[in-house]
């Protein structure tokens, strides 16, 4: 299988029509030589473009792109980028010339911006060596990392990514074990550090003065104020009681209930309020990694 990037018109002027309306790939390089291209008379076509360009290298690059458009098979893969997503398709072999001299091939099925498992192919999640073709000054070109790209479209995990994910899963389990062994005061300190490193500013530590609230915090980014209750161990009934207390305070926008041990099933808490966040040991472990507190945790438990 060959893979080609195609730029759908100058400045992407055909992207919307090709992808959202017509399901086609469209090609410029307008000339009177459509039938010669269909017959494969490439020497005559090269002569035309050489006279047009007066540059052998440029004429050769033009011919390579034209031949790709006319000769790539229905099993070959086309990609393009539109609205910060990568789109891919296969195209019927038949090439049709439009009245304006541009040529099209109908897409087999439709353009897709999802992998074969349904996950979106967002530009930010694709290797830059693939997405760099967006800066290509021509119309059609090859793509680096073809094996990577095929796995990406098939929804397969890259081998090095899978290895790292397995290591990360093991790391999370080990961190959970370290968290579970923290003294309750040290657990509260860890939670305080997590919020601080996540951009929250502590308004005050209440603890003993307010039995319902351990931390009073404020986010300068979202302008939201939250209260945090930290428990080494809790249960469903206690979480519900703290939620009732949260509803009595008008000054708080969010509530965080943080714990590493739950006596009961978290799904049975039954709180659907989006302003209430339950952070169990799995989520705390993720936050320890994301906020760079692994060394702190190891040192504390050493």
Tell whether the model's pLDDT for residue 206 goes beyond 70: no
C-alpha–C-alpha distance, residues 40 and 43, integer Å: 9
- Of the candidates 287, 257, 258, 301, the residue with the CA atom closest to the CA atom of residue 196: 287
Which residues have CB under 8 Å from 193's CB, separation 6+? 291, 293, 296
Cross-sheet strand order for the sheet of 215-219: 201-205, 215-219, 224-235, 254-263, 276-279
pLDDT digits (tens, 9 = 90+) for 14-23: 999 999 999 9
Give the position of tokens 């930010």: 124
pLDDT digits (tens, 9 = 90+) for 65-120: 999 999 999 999 999 999 999 999 999 999 999 999 999 999 999 999 999 999 99
- Of the candidates 255, 254, 259, 253, the residue with the CA atom closest to the CA atom of residue 283: 259
Q: What is the mean pLDDT of residues 259-274?
A: 89
User: Is the pTM for the entire model greater than 0.75?
Assistant: no
- Of the candidates 79, 209, 179, the residue with the CA atom closest to the CA atom of residue 136: 79
Which residues have CB under 8 Å from 283's CB, separation 6+? none
C-alpha–C-alpha distance, residues 276 and 283, integer Å: 14
C-alpha–C-alpha distance, residues 134 and 24, integer Å: 19
Tell whether the model's pLDDT for residue 203 goes beyond 70: yes
Phi, psi values for residue 114, rounded to 5° = -120, 155
- Please give the pLDDT value at position 269: 86
Distances (CA, A) of 282 to 26, 50, 197, 254: 49, 64, 18, 20
Q: Which residues is 204 bridged to in the sheet?
A: 216
- Of the candidates 277, 276, 300, the residue with the CA atom closest to the CA atom of residue 288: 300
- Of the candidates 185, 180, 164, 17, the residue with the CA atom closest to the CA atom of residue 104: 17
The answer to whether the CB of 279 falls within 8 A of the CB of 257 is yes
Tell whether the model's pLDDT for residue 212 goes beyond 80: no
- Please give the pLDDT value at position 205: 62
Q: Is residue 81 classed exposed, middle or buried when 0-12, 13-18 and 19+ CB atoms within 10 A define those classes?
A: buried
- Please give the pLDDT value at position 209: 53
- Of the candidates 106, 158, 97, 156, the residue with the CA atom closest to the CA atom of residue 127: 158
């Amino acid at each position: 299988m060959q893979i080609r990037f195609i730029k759908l018109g100058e400045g992407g002027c055909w992207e919307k029509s090709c992808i959202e309306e017509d399901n086609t790939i469209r090609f410029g390089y307008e000339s009177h030589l459509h039938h010669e291209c269909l017959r494969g008379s490439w020497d005559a076509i090269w002569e035309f473009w050489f006279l047009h360009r007066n540059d052998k290298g440029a004429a050769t690059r033009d011919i390579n792109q034209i031949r790709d458009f006319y000769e790539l098979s229905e099993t070959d893969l086309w990609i393009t980028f539109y609205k910060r997503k990568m789109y891919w398709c296969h195209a019927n072999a038949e090439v049709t010339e439009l009245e304006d001299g541009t040529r099209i091939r109908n897409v087999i099925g439709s353009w897709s911006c999802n992998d074969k498992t349904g996950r979106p192919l967002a530009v930010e999640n694709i290797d830059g060596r693939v997405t760099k073709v967006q800066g290509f000054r021509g119309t059609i070109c090859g793509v680096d990392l073809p094996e990577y790209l095929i796995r990406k479209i098939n929804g397969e995990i890259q081998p090095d990514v899978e290895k790292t994910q397995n290591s990360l899963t093991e790391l999370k389990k080990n961190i959970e074990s370290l968290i579970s062994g923290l003294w309750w005061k040290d657990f509260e300190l860890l939670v305080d550090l997590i919020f601080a490193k996540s951009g929250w500013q502590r308004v005050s530590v209440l603890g003993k003065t307010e039995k319902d609230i351990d931390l009073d915090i404020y986010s300068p980014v979202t302008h939201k104020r939250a209260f945090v209750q930290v428990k080494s161990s809790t249960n469903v009934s206690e979480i519900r009681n703290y939620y009732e207390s949260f509803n009595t305070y008008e000054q708080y926008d969010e509530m965080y209930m943080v714990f590493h041990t739950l006596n009961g099933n978290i799904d049975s808490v039954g709180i659907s309020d989006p302003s209430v966040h339950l952070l169990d040991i799995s989520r705390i472990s993720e936050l320890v990694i994301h906020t760079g507190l692994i060394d702190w945790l190891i040192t504390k438990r050493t």
